[in-house]
Structure formats: structure tokens, C-alpha cells
Amino acid sequence: MEIYFDLLEKIKSDPYQSAAYEYEGNAIVKAGPGSGKTTVIIMKIKKILSEKVFYPRGLACITYSNATTNHFSKKLAEIGVFVRKNVVLSTIHSFCLKEIIIPFGDLSNSQISFPLKIMSDETRKIILNKCLKKKNLGTISLNDFDILRSEYHSPIKKHKKVSEEEIEVIIDYENTLLLSGYSDFSLIVSDSLKLINENEYIRKCIEAKFPWILIDEYQDLGQGLHEIVLILSQKTKIKFFIVGDPDQSIYSFQGANPDLFYQLYDNPSFKQFELKRNYRTTQYLIDKTLGALDMDNREYESGVTSDYDSKFFFIECEENMVSQYMYLVNDLIPNLKEKGISLEEVCILLATNNQINELAEVFSENGIPFFIEGSYFLKLNSASWIIKSVNYVNHNSNFKDLYSNWERLSNKRIRDKDAYFKLFKVLKDSRMYQDNLAEWYNFINTSIGFEELLSSSELAIEQKQYEQFKEEVLTKEMSLEEFCNKTSSSNKVTICTRHSSKGLEFEVVALLGMEEGSFPYFLHKEGTKEYREQERVFFVSLTRAKYGCYLLRSKVISGINKYGNNYVHEKNPSVFWEKLYQTTQNLD
């Protein structure tokens, strides 16, 4: 409980956090980078469960990714809150499946069929193009099409921006999908929205089970969840605690829309709060970042007490990305090690997965240990549980937390002592296979029916990716110790895309590829929504750093074009580089 009281003291010392934490009605919290939103959310959960809501009632906490739900689960366990049947931590798709479609779908004519099969994006695109061709319509991206579908399925909007031809394409596409026995993520949300809107008894059941619903990263969760919140807040007594930051909305390609946060922020049914104190970054870095992006009105203040000499560094390299990679190898990382900065406090941000693979190869060749953040399997609840199990077997980590996660995955409604001791015994017996991951996994799967569970629950949405994880990782010849090392970031440089860096923090961040035309992308013109999102990506990238941020660019980009011709282009700095550099010169 020492951690709990330490966190409580920190919240009470911050007037912004304290006001949101103590408020007992519907609240929407604008939480800037490094403002302690995770602390506020987990402590709010603890407060609600201790003072307001008692078993068998509970609460739901919905967030953007499985990685975040796992992080919340770990942080809650540290303050004495373990995930159980009346405390649900999940993504929006998992929540819709487990709490709406699975229990109520058969009673209310849900379109989703089981066993659940999620159509791949490749096949979805083929089906969509065929439907468009029937109507002699041009191509459209899957993301834009899903936005149209959200508009069409909205029970709230009176004037929908969808043409008759587009409606016919939507109906044709969804019928094709459903008749083939498949679904997709948009259909899961729209079907749940329909069930909630049309059935009072479903709303009452959700209200009875979850008198409180907390939502993190609201700006990234899309139109469907937004309308679910509006309906439940108007037609039930459920209380909402919603946290987000429109300045960090960077997933438009997945349907995110920062305007949805502002719509709820202006809703008179919700009390507004703002967390303005940044506990990650020095005031120097905050001021420069806000100045470069014309965000001075945000009024963020630093809660960092260290007098560390924080700074932006602008590094010009010679030719192509490889010169930037070699600067990391020969200069930056050795210099940081000399200063006593551990490798796990260093993050390299790149534009694409191809660049990540290139840098990983360079680091491997030069003996620099690295961890790739955002690997697909780290986002899966199923794979996450396997990783936790390996860590338990190999290092005797917390079994209670592991079993709580197993209860959640296996959808057990009550605590089963036999299941508890069976899992404990299976994991204990599995230690005989510590030297062979593949044999260990086969033993676990046979003993508890793990893969059978995947196909019979909401985890089915992960099944295809889990099969990939199994083939690429679990069948390899390695010990459990080697597997633990592979999935751990300890004493390694983190490599990730700019988008995957969201939610992370490091002492030092290096942002590569800062040439004109690269970032922002040359087709994204200033003033467009695409450009504004690139600005937000830049904002997120810079605010990962506690003390130092390195910006790298190459003077020359060369290669071979699609016609087989060589090209050599001299490159100016990115407009983002120029704005930040100018701001640092003006303020120094």
C-alpha cells in the first residue's frame, strides 16, 4: 500500500489532478503529455471501488490498445486492485464483444456470427473494390470507407453525409462480409451501437454491471464509441470519467478524430478539467516545442525539479538514412553511455517499419542491443498472457496477477479454486521444459486448451495474428530465458515508429528523417488536415523526451527510381526542423 499512499500524496499536491480525482460526476479531462493521466485513472478506479461501487457491481475502463490495458492492469496491481469479473479493462472492440454482443446478440438479432472470424484488410479491400465497381465508383481507402459506414450507421446524426450510391455500396459490402461468415472491427462497433440504442434492457444491464465507465485516449477511439457514450450518458445513470488530449490525436488512418473530444468537452453534461503540469519534460523543452508549433496558449508547466541542462540538438549527416544510423552507432550512443545514461532510457524514432528493420540490422552488426517497440504480438492479449506466463515460470513473477488475467481471458464468471490450482500446477510442471520454448508451449496448450479458448471467445479477433506469433516466435528453438530477453526492453535501446512512441517516455529521444518532403510528407500541404496531424505526430515525438532530443537529417538523398534511373537530391531541413530551430534561437 506504500505505492498507493505515495500516489495519493502526489495527486493531492497537484491542484489539477486533485480536482479531477475528487469530482464525483461526469467528467472529461484534457491531459497534456507527461501530466500523470495514468496515475489519475488508476487512482480514480481505486477510489470508486473503495468508496462508491461494491461487488458484484463494478466498472469498465476502455482504452486504445491491449498494450495499454496490460499496463493499467500492472499499475492497478501495484496499488492493490486486481482485474476481476466486475472490473473490466479492455479495448473498445473487446468491450463491445464481451459486454454487448456475446451476452445480448442472440436475443437482439445481432449480425455478428460465431465463432468470430475477422476479415483481413487485404480481403476487405478486394470485396470493397468489387462493390464499388458495380456502381461505377472510384476507389476509396478502407479508412475513409469505414468513416462513411460510421456515418451511415449513426442513430444520432439526422443529416448524414452519405450518398444513396455510397449507402448501396455499404449494404453490399457488409452483406458480402456477413454471408461469408466473417466480420470486421467497424461492424463490431456499429452492431453494438445499434443494440444499445434500440434495447432499453441492454442499457439497464450495462448500467447495473458498470455504474462507472472510464475511457482513456478518447480522441483516438472513433465515432462509434462517441455515440455509445452519448446514448449511455443520456439514457442511463452511468457516470463517465473520460481522459484524452486532442493535441495527441495521431491515428486518423484508423478513424480517430480529435473533434469528437472537443464535442464532448463542450457538452454541458460533463465537467471540464485540464491537467497542465508536465512531470516528464523540463520547462525549456516544453516552451520550445509549444513555440515551434504555435501552441503557446496551452499553458503547460513543468513539474520537473531537476536542473539537468536540457536541450535540442540539430545533427546534419551526409547522405541517406544510413549516415544517420551510423551517427547513432559511432557518436550518439557512445556519448550517452559516457554520460551515464542507460540504453533503456534512449529511444530512436523512425517513420516506417522498413526503416526500423534497416536500423535493427545496423545495430545487430555493431553489437548494440535493441528492443523494437510496437511489435504486433506485444499488442495481443493472447500473446501478452503467454509472455507473462513465461516470465512467471522463469522468474517467479506475480501469480495472482497472472491468474487474474487468465480469468479475464477465459471469461470465468466466478473465481474457481480448482482452475486456480490447476493453472498453478501446470505452470509449475512446465518448468521441465525451460530449455525449449516450443516444447513448453505445446505442454501449456495441451494442458489448459489455450488455442481452443482463442477460437471460442472475444479473443478470436486476435486469432490470425496469434497464429503468426506462434509460427514466428513460439516454434523457434530457444530457451525460456532467451524468450524473456527477446520480449524485454531492459538495458536495450528502444526503436519504434513515431506513432508507436505515444505513451512512452525516455531521458533521450532521437528523431530521424527530418528532411524536407519526408516529415511532413511532401503531399501534405500546410493547413490541410493531413498536415495538422503530422504536426501532432511531431508534438508527440518531441514530448517523449525528458531531457534531450536529437533531430537528425541528411543533406543528400540518393537512390534508384522506379524506372531504374539513379537520382541524387540535395535536401533542405524539414519545415518542422526549421520552426523548432528558429524557436530555440529566439528564446536562448
Omega cis (within 30) before 520: yes
Look over the chain and give the mean of its residue pLDDT values, rounded to a whole number.
91
* Whether residue 588 has pLDDT greater than 70: no
Q: What confidence category does residue 114 fall into, taking pLDDT thresholds of 50, 70 and 90? A: confident
**CA–CA separation, 538 and 295 (whole Å):** 13
Residue 251 to residues 183, 436, 518, 534, 586, Cα–Cα distance (Å): 22, 39, 18, 10, 32
Kindly give the pairing relationship between strand 566-570 and strand 545-560.
antiparallel
Residue 572 pLDDT greater than 90, yes or no: yes
pLDDT digit string (tens) for 157-214?
877 889 999 999 999 999 999 999 999 999 999 999 999 999 999 999 999 999 999 9
3-state SS, residue 568: strand
| Distance between CA atoms of residues 588 and 585, nearest Å | 5
Q: Can you give the residue ranges of every domain in the chain?
A: 1-102+191-277, 119-182, 283-373+489-586, 376-487
Which residue from 173, 202, 197, 167 is spatially nearest to 187, judged by alpha carbons?
Answer: 173
CA angle 142, 145, 146 (to 5 degrees): 85
* 3 state DSSP class of 15: helix
Task: Give every CB contact of residue 579 below 8 A, 6+ residues apart in sequence.
Answer: 292, 293
Determine the Cα–Cα distance for residues 499 and 298; give it in Å rounded to an integer.
22
Q: For the residues of 397-461, what is the DSSP string, one character each? A: --HHHHHHHHHHHHT-SS--HHHHHHHHHHHHHGGGGTT-HHHHHHHHHHHH-HHHHHHTSGGGG
Is pLDDT of 456 > 70?
no
**One fold for 1-102+191-277 and 283-373+489-586:** yes
Task: Check residue 175 and give its pLDDT.
Answer: 96
**CB within 8 Å of 65: residues ≥ 6 apart:** 91, 379
- Rounded to whole angstroms, how far apart are CA atoms 379 and 503? 14
Please write the tens of the pLDDT for every residue from 347-394. 999 999 999 999 999 999 999 999 999 887 877 888 888 998 999 998
What integer pLDDT is reported at residue 23 of this predicted model?
Answer: 98
Q: What's the pLDDT at 473? A: 86
Cell numbers representing residue 393 in the block: 515460470
Closest among 263, 210, 200, 211 to 235, alpha carbons compared: 200
Please give the CATH number for the structural domain made up of 1-102+191-277.
3.40.50.300
Split at pLDDT 50, 70, 90, the class of 545 is very high
Task: Encode pLDDT of 293-324 as tens digits.
Answer: 988 788 898 988 765 678 999 999 999 999 99
Give the Cα separation of 465 and 449 in Å (integer).
18
pLDDT for 144: 92
State yes or no: pLDDT of 458 exceeds 70: no
Which residue, chain included where needed, has cell 517497440? Answer: 373
Going across the sheet that includes 27-31, the strands are 87-91, 59-63, 212-215, 239-244, 27-31, 271-275
DSSP label at residue 121:
H
**Average confidence (pLDDT) over 549-565:** 93
Beta bridge pairs of residue 313: 550
pTM of the model as a whole: 0.88
C-alpha closest to that of 557 among 508, 530, 518 = 518
C-alpha cell at position 519? 516529415
15-70: per-residue pLDDT in tens?
999 999 999 999 999 999 999 999 999 999 999 999 999 988 999 999 988 888 88
Residue type (1 letter), 43: M
Tell me the C-alpha to C-alpha distance, in Å, between residue 134 and each of 123, 138, 139, 166, 566: 17, 10, 12, 11, 42
The pLDDT assigned to 413 comes to 47
- Residue 320 grid coordinates: 541517406
pLDDT at 8 over 70: yes
Write out the three cell numbers for 438: 516450443
Whether pLDDT at 117 is above 90: no
Instruction: Name the nearest CA neighbour of 586 among 287, 338, 299, 306.
Output: 287
Give 20: exposed, middle or buried? Use CB within 10 Å, 0-12, 13-18, 19+: buried
Type of residue numbered 17: Q
CATH architecture of the domain with residue range 283-373+489-586: 3-Layer(aba) Sandwich (3.40)
From 187, 190, 192, select the one nearest 203 (Cα to Cα): 192
